[in-house]
Amino acid sequence: MNITLTLPDGSKREYAHGTTGLQVAESISQGLARNAVGIFLNDTPNDLSTPIMADANVRIVTFDQDEGKQIFWHSTAHLMAEALEALYPGVRFGIGPAIEQGFYYDVDLPGDMKLSSEDLPKIEAKMVELVKRDVPFQREDISWDDAVQYFKEKGDEYKLELLEGFKGQSITLYKQGAFTDLCRGTHVPSTGMLKFPKLLSIAGAYWRGDSNRQVLTRIYGIAFPKKQMLEEFITMREEAEKRDHRKLGKELELFMISQTIGGGLPVWMPNGTILRRLLENFLRDELIKRGYQEVITPHIGNLNMYRTSGHYPYYSDGMFPPIQFTDETGREEEYLLKPMNCPHHHQVYSSKPHSYRDLPIRLAEFGSVYRYEQSGELSGLSRVRGFTQDDAHIYCTHEQLKDELINAIELTQLVFKTFGMEVKTRLSFRDPNNTEKYAGTDEMWNQAEREIQEVADMMGLDYFIGVGEAAFYGPKFDFIVRDAIGRKWQLGTVQVDYVMPERFELEYTGADNAKHRPVIIHRAPFGSMERFLSILIEHFAGNFPFWIAPVQVSVLPITDDQIPYAQALTQRLLDLGYRAKLDDRAEKVNRKIAESEQKKVPFALVIGKKEVESGQVSVREHGIGDKGAMNVDAVLKVFAELKNA
């Protein structure tokens, strides 16, 4: 009996019933068989050892694909667990998933034992030793009762707790060498593929993210099939450390985070405020051209408004607790630190009647919002508790929807193009197998998903579909950018919403004189200003383009005799709108030049006796060095060209 397998190119091949994924790979090429890490059967990942029992669409993945990396890294998490169990008998294991860059495993060490970064080389060496044995990953299907019995005997209460959530389901274990773990899979064929592991860091993590539970030790790592890949990763990681926005933010005096003010609540220093305002103004200019109206809404809102929107029940775990009080009349009230701007904008829309002739209405705001993040998750500007979204909500007719989506996407693309960021688009759809997570009807969702895919096709976007990535009220376009050193970040978003108009009973009067519901587009090109700036700082390594550099030019007199000339030049630059800074300290000029370079100021204008006499300046460009003497008017011409570039 044969089965028919359809390959990614649409071709069909006949195989014997029970053929494994590895045998399919071997039939295509020996190179593919050597590098394959898993097989997708009808979009479901499987081990290469899985017998294929029916006709299917098949896709064999290697480390080169994102899905292949996830399989590879998850397998390496198991390898690390085996090494830990060999080195620290009695260690117990929480969860060990693959993540975007590598993997982690949460573990509970026996007794009072603690791990530090100094222990990582020893664990890593044990992993390499285990790789050399090259043993297979073996899947075992067992009953729930047998699994419970196994982990009771092992004394691992974390796996027993996880099993409570799988009661009544078929359970799978994976074994390699002396280590057995509770796992759904998928895994590489054998440990010998995991040739070049690298452990990266150690952190604390609450079990299951609950701050009232045990703090486990989280070990992060990564692995590669080739040594060159590992070396390239290490080089990139070193470069990323140099670009770390937390380090550069302090050195360039862009922002600060004070525990006196509160964790996760960034304060913008003067330089950072200039940078942020320049980005806001850049976007504001575009919004005016595109017919947006700016609004300002409060930092708190009545809790019932968020109950109406559904944000409070859906996202209450990520919000600060409600503010409860009794007013002077004895009435009890509940307010919430604003977690999102949407409901406030819906109130602006509903504040007066609208005709179809008024639409589209485009409301925009740089609105501050507040969301609760656990202390251990906070990181610089990228994970904060208070941030500002460049939010907008477009209220339009269904006939206007596609044009408005195109306009919003083009604006987002303009942002990324301006800063030289390569972008890919994810169409984020709901998970059809978990519909209780989402508001609205199947009809609404099917229509919205169909429409955004049609727009993506019309615009020729480079996109992929992310199932389960939608917002609770609708599907969306998410934009994944790649920075200067190749890292990927999810930034701007454009979302379609048929749910909120129903919940807030938003209306307009149509040409037929009947009441209709508008469609809402949620749109944020930057996403959050804080997160965008954290990425922008690292993208440019603090070497900002001239037009957004907080200080564009340093004016450096060599001696006190040149200070009057330098003061006049600085004032002229300020009058022309350039951000110039005079350094008239009694320091040697070489030190002034070095400090200007360290602060990454694009230009330094050095003024000595000769420059005063000739009416010139000696120009130094950041990262390049001495450009020679130039007339002031020639320098201003260069600045004007850069400013308008």
Q: Is residue 371 flagged as an active site residue?
A: yes
Report how far residue 541's alpha carbon sits from residue 239's, in angstroms, rounded to the nearest whole number.
9
Give the span between the Cα atoms of 124 and 99, in whole angstroms.
Answer: 19
Helix and strand numbers (H, E) in the chain are: 20, 33
* Residue from 342, 390, 516, 620 carrying the catalytic annotation: 342
Q: Is 522 annotated as catalytic?
A: yes
The answer to whether the CB of 186 falls within 8 A of the CB of 71 is yes
Strand ranges across the sheet with 138-142: 138-142, 171-176, 179-182
Pairing of strands 519-524, 553-557: unpaired
Distance in angstroms (rounded) separating the CA atoms of residues 388 and 266? 11
User: Helices 270-289 and 401-418: crossing angle, nearest 10°?
Assistant: 140
DSSP track, 46-105: E-TTPBP-S-EEEEEEETTSHHHHHHHHHHHHHHHHHHHHHHSTT-EE----EETTEEEE
Dihedral angle of Cα 148, 152, 155, 157, to the nearest 10 degrees: 50
Q: Which of 139, 159, 371, 516 is catalytic?
A: 371
In the chain, the largest separation of any two C-alpha atoms, in whole Å, equals 97
Query: Catalytic one among 92, 354, 476, 620?
Result: 476
108, 311, 344, 389: which one is catalytic? 389
Alpha-helical segments (H) within 553-631: 563-575, 589-598, 609-614
Phi-psi region of 12 (alpha: psi -120 to 50; beta: other; left: phi over 0): beta
**Annotated catalytic residue within 430, 522, 523, 592:** 522
How far from the centroid of its chain's Cα atoms is residue 282's Cα? 23
The neighbour count for residue 236, using CB atoms within 10 Å, is: 14
Q: Please confirm, yes or no, whether 389 is among the known catalytic residues.
A: yes
C-beta of residue 521 within 8 angstroms of C-beta of residue 501: no
Q: Where are the alpha helices (DSSP H) in 541-602?
A: 563-575, 589-598
The phi, psi pair for 445, rounded to 5°, reads -65, -45
Contact 608, 575 (CB under 8 A): no
The strand pairing partners of 439, in sequence order, are: none
Q: Which of 126, 393, 523, 600 is catalytic?
A: 393
Under 8 Å between Cβ of 602 and 622: yes
Query: Is 374 a residue of the active site?
Result: no
Identify each DSSP E strand in 184-266 by its residue range. Answer: 196-206, 215-224, 255-256
Q: CA 213 to CA 95: how far, in whole Å?
A: 15
Q: Which positions ≥6 away from 370 have C-beta within 8 Å?
A: 299, 319, 320, 337, 338, 339, 385, 386
How many residues are there in the chain?
645
3-state SS, one letter per residue, for 460-497 = CCCEEEEECCCECCECEEEEEEECCCCCEEEEEEEEEE
List 47, 108, 391, 583, catalytic entry:
391
Q: Under 8 Å CB-to-CB from 392, ≥6 apart: which residues?
A: 287, 292, 362, 363, 364, 365, 408, 522, 523, 524
Return the number of other C-beta atoms located less than 10 Å from residue 177's C-beta.
18
For residue 51, give both structure tokens: 């017998």
- The token duo for 25 is 């790979």
Q: Is there a catalytic annotation at residue 30?
A: no
C-alpha distances in angstroms, 110 versus 88, 89, 207? 8, 8, 16
Q: Which residues are catalytic?
A: 342, 371, 389, 391, 393, 476, 522
